[in-house]
Chain A
Amino acid sequence: MFQVNADVIAKEEVIPGVFSLTIVSPVISENAKPGQFVHIACNQGGNFILRRPFSIHRIVPGKAFEILFRVVGRGTEALSRVKVYDILDVIGPLGNGFKYSERITSALLVAGGLGLAPLLYLAEELTNEQVKFYPMLGAQTKTKLLRYIDFKRIGKKTYVATDDGSSGHNGTVADLLNRTIHYIRPEIIYACGPEPMLRKVAQTADEFGVKCQVSLETKMACGVGVCLGCACVTRQGYKMVCKDGPVFDARDIIWDKEEIEPTLLGGYRCETAKVSDPG
């Protein structure tokens, strides 16, 4: 990981409220892997302080990287006002990305909304590895379906779902996956999107015995594994989204808060176990 002061060399409002920034950093672009993220200081000196994490959306090899984000709060709002040639304080590349190899026979990339951001980078790398893959993109409506052309250009066949039926399947992308997985029969699913969607995708993958990796999103402070603030619950206990993730094996994630072991709710580890264990 590196901390760099990097120039913004391109900015685009892809659709209203969704921006892409291309940021120059040879060292980040050379070391990045799909699924990793960058941690950007969006407004130093303002009334909010923390950096904001963004998946790496695309790479200009050896030169720059691109992020794609929707304005959802103070951080993204400030970042949307950045101008070309402004300098951003960026830490990256961070986290563990998607695991893949050229031996994969077929992959399915399931994106919910802006979850497509890291998946386009993955798609380009899979293309380089000559792995056959199918993009499956979900959006609220046709006009919010982003990067369709880019995926279609390199993917085997691109599936689309929109909540209002304006393009492709009428319904959610998780729903579309459930209906199509039995004939697409991918060896592995890579998914990114809102948590309820990821949860359904994980369920479907599990049902059909398909391996599945999900990229999670949480609020973060440090981004490098120090503050232990971005915990998610896994079958191996708490893991940090920033350092252990953001990509996890879907089977390891515990989605239901009710399933959290009481030992994970403060206190010493195995305190409860010790009480009940006579040995």
Chain B
Amino acid sequence: MKNPVMPASGTFGAGREYSEFIDLNCLGALVVKTVTLRPRDGNAPPRLYEVSSGMLNSIGLQNEGIDHFIEHDLPYLRQFDVPIIINIAGNTLEEYAQLCREIKGVEGISGIELNISCPNIKAGGIAFGASSRLAEQVTAAARYNTDLPLIVKLTPNVYNVSKIAQAVVYGGANAVSLINTLVGMSIDTNTFKPHLGNITGGLSGPAIKPVAVRMVWEVAQTVKVPIIGIGGINSTLDAIEFLLAGATAVAIGTANFVNPRVMIEIIDGIESFLRQRNMSDIRQIIGKVKV
């Protein structure tokens, strides 16, 4: 990786749209939107609602399925000199395993991120991420079916995130990424109806950053594998906070929607942050929070 900055899954599609705004070759890695075994149409609208310092979404993993991804998106992504991380989700353990098998030997994929934390689908998703037993099982199932580096994306909607992190490491994860969105809800006081068609949705944006930093810090105390810190990162200093808490890399989500150039600004920003402090290696700040 050239640098520790990548998009968070689902906020960058497969790169096409934002390639008009930034040079994708500059990214540390490119995490694509969740791919499932078969196409999903997603949830009924309205699918998003902005709240104070954040947004709720209930997209429902709309995507065209793994075959379409391999045929149409991957050839496009292969032209860039950037590690491609495919994010996958299934309804069942077997679907995660099968997705890993489908990816086997496919050229141009550098890693797999297991989405076991989507709050917006009826089956699978968060169910796997909320139980350490299931989280370990699904990771092991994926591990058994792939030789690629395996990242597991964790949900904050649990009491003890470290326990889940530990479980997925036992299951064979090479890294963890956290946090996915927090389940939230918002109600229209005129109509008495929820603002989202799916009633509840995932909260993202600056509002969740302190929760994310705390969870990254907790997990960093517990597991040895690299952590990708995610949650409301909007600026260089937000990213630095995550690194100090113990993340080795960061992923930018909602902020991409606000400013398509934000990742480039953060990549440059981290570099000048280190330079200003006469630091030559990012490891000089990773996990260096003074507590």
Contact = CB atoms under 8 A, between A and B. Distances in A.
Interface in B79-129: 91, 120-123
B10 A227 contact: yes
Contacts of A225: 13, 17
A227 B7 CA distance: 12
A237 B41 contact: yes
Nearest to B198: A266
B275 interface: no
A154 B45 CA distance: 38
Contacts of B48: 219-221, 227, 229-230
A82 interface: no
Contact of B41 (A220, A222, A224, A263): A263
B47 A230 contact: yes
A226 B17 contact: yes
B41 A221 contact: no
B279 interface: no
Contacts of A8: none
Interface string B34-61: 0011111111111111101111010110
B50 A49 contact: yes
B13 A44 contact: no
A265 interface: yes
A183 interface: no
A264 interface: yes
Most chain B C-beta atoms within 10 Å of own C-beta, residue among A44, A226, A238, A265: A226
B225 to A, nearest CB: 29
Interface string B1-44: 00000000011110001101100000000000000111111111
Contacts of B38: 268-269
B164 to A, nearest CB: 24
Nearest to A74: B50
Nearest to B20: A1
A229 B198 CA distance: 12
A271 B289 CA distance: 49
B44 A265 contact: yes
Contacts of B76: none
Nearest to B51: A48
A44 B258 contact: yes
B258 A51 contact: yes
A18 interface: no
A33 B45 CA distance: 27
25 contacts: A3-B21, A44-B258, A49-B206, A49-B234, A50-B50, A91-B260, A219-B49, A220-B48, A221-B57, A223-B257, A225-B13, A226-B257, A227-B10, A227-B48, A227-B257, A228-B47, A229-B57, A231-B45, A237-B41, A238-B42, A264-B44, A267-B40, A267-B121, A267-B122, A268-B91
B146 interface: no
B57 A266 contact: no
B129 to A, nearest CB: 18
Interface in A229-243: 229-233, 237-238, 243
A226 B46 contact: no
Interface residues of A, number: 39
Given A227-B10, A266-B42, A266-B60, 9 more contacts: A44-B259, A50-B55, A224-B18, A227-B257, A243-B17, A266-B40, A267-B40, A268-B36, A268-B91
B248 interface: no
B261 to A, nearest CB: 7
Most chain B C-beta atoms within 10 Å of own C-beta, residue among A51, A243, A266: A266
Interface of A: 1, 3, 41, 44, 47-51, 89, 91, 218-233, 237-238, 243, 257, 260, 263-269
Given A41-B259, A49-B258, A265-B44, A226 B13 contact: yes
Contacts of B50: 48-50, 219, 221
B45 A226 contact: no
Nearest to A44: B258
Contacts of A3: 21, 260-261
A175 B204 CA distance: 42
Contact of A269 (B39, B44, B49, B255): B39
B204 to A, nearest CB: 10
A219 B41 CA distance: 19
A105 B60 CA distance: 44
A44 B235 CA distance: 12
Interface in B158-202: 198
Contacts of A265: 43-44
B45 A221 contact: no
B157 interface: no
B254 interface: yes
A226 B11 contact: yes
A184 to B, nearest CB: 33
Contacts of B45: 218, 230-233, 238
B205 interface: yes
Contact of B256 (A41, A226, A231): A226
B62 interface: yes
A228 B59 contact: yes
